[in-house]
Amino acid sequence: MNNDVQDTHSPNFILKGFTSAQVGLYFLASAYLIKKTIGNFLVDDTFMMFMSVQLMEFFIAGILFLLSLFSSLAIFYSNRRKARRASQKIWNPSSKKRFWIFLTHIIISLSILILLYSNGLYNYIGPVGLILYAFLLTALSASNKTFYLFAFVAILLAVMNFIIPNYWYSSMLLIGVAHFAYGVVKI
């Protein structure tokens, strides 16, 4: 009996059900925290107004790092739990391949976003991040047409961010709501 998780029966490391809803909540919480952080920085009667711009940038980067970390861990532990319940191995050739695609994509995406930041192209960080997120969803979609739709929505939101740079908050909210709604429907 083969104990490997097979692509045809149980796709490895995908957003489905509770995991998608959880990632959606992480997006919503991150968008809210970033918006509140920027809002409190601009208001005169809060302690955050005494922070430097560099510290605010570091704080926002930390929120985005935690979003990526918690989302990745949610996907990993959800699939690990599913594999254990089915008495299957989680690390098989297919899951290793997906993991390396994911890791490579994260490293390349981070490099591109840091390059944009270091060159002062702040208005392009949001749209390029959404496009890179769409590429990640496409690379890991496992022939699930729903994630191609998510990728298309992310690209449309990126175009809106190119046109209206302050649209990043609405884009994060829409991505979060989309993942949450998909997760609730698929539970």
Q: Tell me how far CA of residue 88 lies from CA of 9, 14, 62, 98, in angstroms.
A: 12, 16, 35, 17
Q: Is residue 5 part of a domain?
A: no
Query: Among 11-20, 75-84, 107-116, 175-184, whose mean pLDDT is lowest?
Result: 11-20
Q: Is residue 2 part of a domain?
A: no
Task: Answer whether residue 168 shows pLDDT above 50.
Answer: yes
pLDDT tens figures, 3-13: 544 444 455 66
Strand partners for 4: 89
pLDDT score, position 11: 55
Q: Domain count of the chain?
A: 1
Owning domain of residue 121:
18-186
Q: Is residue 12 part of a domain?
A: no
- Which tokens belong to 175? 């991505």
Query: Among 8-22, 73-87, 137-151, 152-166, whose mean pLDDT is lowest?
Result: 8-22
Q: Is residue 1 part of a domain?
A: no
pLDDT tens figures, 80-125: 888 888 888 888 787 788 888 888 998 999 899 899 989 988 889 8
Task: Answer whether residue 133 shows pLDDT above 60.
Answer: yes
Q: Is residue 13 part of a domain?
A: no
* Contact indicator for 138, 7 with CB cutoff of 8 Å: no
Residue 88 CB contacts under 8 Å (≥ 6 apart), including other chains: 3, 4, 5, 10
Q: Is residue 33 part of a domain?
A: yes
Q: Is residue 143 part of a domain?
A: yes
Q: Is residue 11 part of a domain?
A: no
